[in-house]
């Protein structure tokens, strides 16, 4: 079978699976929905994908893969420009925020598929889907955690994880329904104005990352893990 036909058939199956998962959720979507949507038989689906879980993995990879790549490339570009110095909190936040904000501001035809899918995953969490999503995003999360630890070595690791989660959570909310924010704010918050949104979010989040921890941590700080004296005086890299 020509490669072009193979790619077309796989794309139709993935499109149908994506629509089914977005509409019915992982548990509610059946292979019957996917077969009917793709216009293929069940054997063809199993020829390309071993299971419904494999289909979800492929759907997430297709939609979140470009976002993951943009996140890592932007962070790498900032790190190269820093010439070995830790990134500022502002640079880390820009690398975290900018790719999803660009996606949220894109025309509906470009962003609708991923926003529907993220919205379904967020509102109807399924353990298997959540595990696939974590696997898909693990590399990105680890890269930003490492950058944040280097930038803020005296912030306890659990506290740093919480603060990063606040940012990821805000981005997930934005991607679930980009237009909702504009409606809720009566037009005051327009995600199309990416530069303004980015500046406001960085201005809001950056002091929080630098703030003292509100609670004592049982885990050692990043500085202790590297063998530094936590009582020694040195300026936190900003």
Q: How far is CA 166 from CA 31, 161, 170, in A?
A: 36, 9, 6
Strand partners, 156: 221
Q: Where does 60-225 sit in CATH, by number?
A: 1.10.357.10
Tens of pLDDT, residue by residue, the chain (238 residues): 566 667 789 999 999 999 999 888 888 999 999 999 999 999 999 999 999 999 999 999 988 899 999 999 999 999 999 999 999 999 999 999 999 999 999 887 777 778 888 888 877 778 888 888 888 899 999 999 999 999 999 999 999 999 999 999 999 888 888 888 888 999 888 899 999 999 999 999 999 999 998 866 545 544 455 554 444 443 322 2
- Per the CB < 8 A criterion, the answer to whether 34 and 16 are in contact is yes
Q: Return the CATH class of domain 1-49.
A: mainly alpha
The predicted pLDDT at position 238 comes to 28
- Pairwise CA distance, residues 216 & 165, whole Å: 18
Whether the full predicted model's pTM is greater than 0.85, yes or no, is: no
- Pairwise CA distance, residues 71 & 131, whole Å: 20
- Pairwise CA distance, residues 138 & 9, whole Å: 30
Q: Cite the residue boundaries of each domain of the chain with CATH code 1.10.357.10.
A: 60-225
Q: How far is CA 190 from CA 90, 114, 200, in A?
A: 22, 19, 12
For residue 206, what are its two tokens? 């950056």
Q: Cite the residue boundaries of each domain of the chain with CATH code 1.10.10.60.
A: 1-49
The predicted pLDDT at position 82 comes to 97
């Amino acid at each position: 079978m020509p490669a072009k036909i193979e790619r077309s058939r796989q794309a139709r199956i993935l499109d149908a699976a994506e629509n089914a998962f977005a509409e019915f959720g992982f548990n509610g979507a059946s292979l019957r929905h996917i077969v009917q949507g793709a216009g293929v038989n069940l054997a063809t689906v199993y020829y390309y994908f071993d299971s419904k879980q494999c289909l979800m993995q492929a759907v997430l990879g297709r939609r979140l893969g470009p976002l993951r790549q943009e996140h890592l490339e932007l962070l790498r570009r900032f790190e190269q420009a820093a010439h070995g110095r830790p990134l500022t909190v502002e640079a880390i936040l820009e690398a975290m925020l900018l790719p999803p904000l660009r996606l949220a501001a894109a025309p509906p035809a470009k962003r609708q598929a991923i926003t529907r899918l993220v919205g379904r995953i967020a509102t109807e969490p399924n353990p298997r889907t959540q595990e696939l999503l974590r696997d898909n995003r693990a590399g990105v999360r680890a890269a930003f955690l490492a950058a944040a630890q280097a930038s803020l070595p005296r912030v306890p690791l659990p506290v740093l994880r919480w603060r990063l989660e606040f940012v990821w959570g805000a981005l997930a909310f934005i991607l679930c329904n980009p237009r909702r924010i504009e409606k809720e704010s009566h037009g005051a918050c327009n995600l199309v104005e990416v530069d303004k949104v980015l500046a406001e979010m960085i201005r809001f989040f950056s002091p929080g990352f630098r703030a003292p921890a509100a609670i004592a941590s049982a885990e050692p700080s990043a500085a202790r893990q590297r063998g530094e004296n936590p009582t020694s005086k040195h300026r936190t890299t900003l």
